[in-house]
Amino acid sequence: MITSVFGVLFDGFAYGMLLFLLSVGLSVTLGMMNFVNLAHCTFGMIGGYVTVTLMNSWGWPFLATLPVAFVVAALISVVFERTMFRRLYRATDLDQCLLTIGLVFVSVATAAWVYGTIQQPVQLPPYLRGSVQVMGLTLGVYRIFLIVFALVVTGLLVAALEFTRFGAQVRAAVDNQRMARGLGINVDGAFAITFALGSGLAGLGGALAIDIVGLDPSFALAFLVYVLIVVAVGGLGSIGGTFAAAMLLGISDMAGKYYFPAIGSFLIYLVMISLLMWRPAGIFGRRT
C-alpha cells in the first residue's frame, strides 16, 4: 500500500515536471502581454516531431536531439510571433483564442498529413530504459532522468529571472507593462525573446513527453487543456505558481487514474473549476 502511494507520487511528480515544462512559457507570456496563446502546445508537438524525425530518419542519439527540438520550436514560434501574433496584442481574448486555435487546427492537420495519425515510436538509449530499486521502490530510469532534467531547467529559469538584468526587465513587464515601458524597457523585445524561450521549453517538453504519453497529431489539442489548467490555476506570470499547479495536477491526475479509474479526469476538472471560482486569478496570481 505504502509503496503504491510512493509509486503514484513519483510518477505524478514526473508527469507534473512534464506539464511544467510545457506550460511555463505560456504562463510568462500570458502574464506579460495578456496574449492568450492556445497554440502553445503546437510548439511542444513540433519539438516532439523534430526528435522523432532526427532519431528515426537520421539516426541521431536521443539526447542530441533535445537541443535541436528546443531551437526549432523557438525559431518557428518567433516566425509566428513576428508575422501574426504581434498584430493581436491589443485585440480581445476571443480574437486571440480564435487565431491561435486556428493555428492549432492547421498544425494538427499538417502533422497528420506529414506523419500520419499513428503514434510515433521512439527507441530510448539503453541507459534511459529499465528501472532501478531504491529503498524497495521500483523507479523508472527515464522518469528519474526527466525529473532531474526538469529540475535543472527550472533552476536555470528561476536564476535567469531573479538574478539577471533581462530577468528583471521581464518581471517588470509582467508586473506593470505600462510602467516598464515608461522606464524605457524594451518590452516588445523582451517579450519576443521570452516568447521564443517559452516555446523552446514547450518543444523540449514535447520531445521529453514522447516516451511517457506518446506523440500523435492530436498532441497539440489534447495537452492544451492540461496546460491551460496549469496556467489558470497557477496564476499568470508566476513561475512558482505554475510549478505548484503542475505538480498538483500531475500528482492528482496520476492518483485519480490509479485509485479512481471510473471517475477518470472528472475530479481534475471539478478541482480546477472550484479553484478558479475561489481565486479567479489563480492560486498565486495577483491580478485577473
Q: How far apart are CA 217 and CA 108, in angstroms?
A: 5
Contact call for residue 93 and other proteins (CB under 8 A)? yes
**Judged by CB under 8 A, which of 32, 227, 232, 249 binds other proteins?**
232
228 sits near other proteins (criterion: CB under 8 A): yes
**CB 228 to other proteins: min, Å:** 6
Asked if residues 287 and 281 have their Cβ atoms less than 8 Å apart, the reply is yes
What end-to-end distance do the CA atoms of the chain give, in Å? Answer: 42
How many residues of this chain bind other proteins (CB under 8 A)? 49
Least CB distance from residue 38 to other proteins, whole Å?
A: 9
CB-wise, 31 or 140, nearer to other proteins?
31
84 is a site residue for other proteins (CB under 8 A): yes
Q: What angle separates helix 2-33 from helix 141-163, to the nearest 10 degrees?
A: 30
Dihedral pair phi/psi, residue 231, rounded to 5°: -65, -45
CB of 82 to other proteins, least distance (A): 14
Q: Are 119 and 170 in contact (CB under 8 A)?
A: no
The DSSP call for residue 87 is G
Q: How far apart are CA 147 and CA 116, in angstroms?
A: 30
Question: For 1-61, where are the alpha helices, taking DSSP H only?
Answer: 2-33, 40-58
Q: How far is the CB of 107 from other proteins (least distance, A)?
A: 8
Regarding 179 and contact with other proteins (CB under 8 A), the answer is no
Measured from the CB of residue 34, what is the shortest distance to other proteins in angstroms?
8
The answer to whether residue 278 forms part of the interface with other proteins (CB under 8 A) is no
| Distance of closest approach, residue 118 Cβ to other proteins, in angstroms | 11
Contact 38, 224 (CB under 8 A): yes
User: Which residue among 71, 98, 128, 213 contacts other proteins (CB under 8 A)?
Assistant: 98
Q: Is 141 in the site for other proteins (CB under 8 A)?
A: no
78 contributes a contact to other proteins by CB under 8 A:
no
Q: Which residues, at least 6 apart from 41, have a Cβ–Cβ distance to it below 8 Å? A: 22, 104, 202, 206, 219, 220, 221, 223, 224, 227
Cell of 99: 487565431
Q: Give yes or no for residue 176 binding other proteins (CB under 8 A).
A: no
14: nearest Cα among 210, 201, 250, 233: 250
CA 249/CA 187 separation, integer angstroms: 32
Taking the least distance from each CB to other proteins, the nearer of 185 and 221 is 221
Stretch that binds other proteins, among 106-114, 162-170, 206-214, 243-251 (CB under 8 A): 106-114
Span near other proteins by CB under 8 A; candidates 1-9, 63-71, 83-91, 130-138: 83-91
Name the helix (H) or strand (E) containing 242. Answer: helix 239-259
**Cβ of residue 50: shortest distance to other proteins, in angstroms?**
20
Is position 255 an interface residue for other proteins (rule: CB under 8 A)? Answer: no
Q: Where along the sequence are the contacts to other proteins (CB under 8 A)?
A: 30, 36, 84, 87-88, 90-95, 97-99, 101-110, 112-113, 117, 217-218, 221, 225, 228-229, 232, 236, 262-266, 269-270, 272-273, 276-277, 280-281, 288
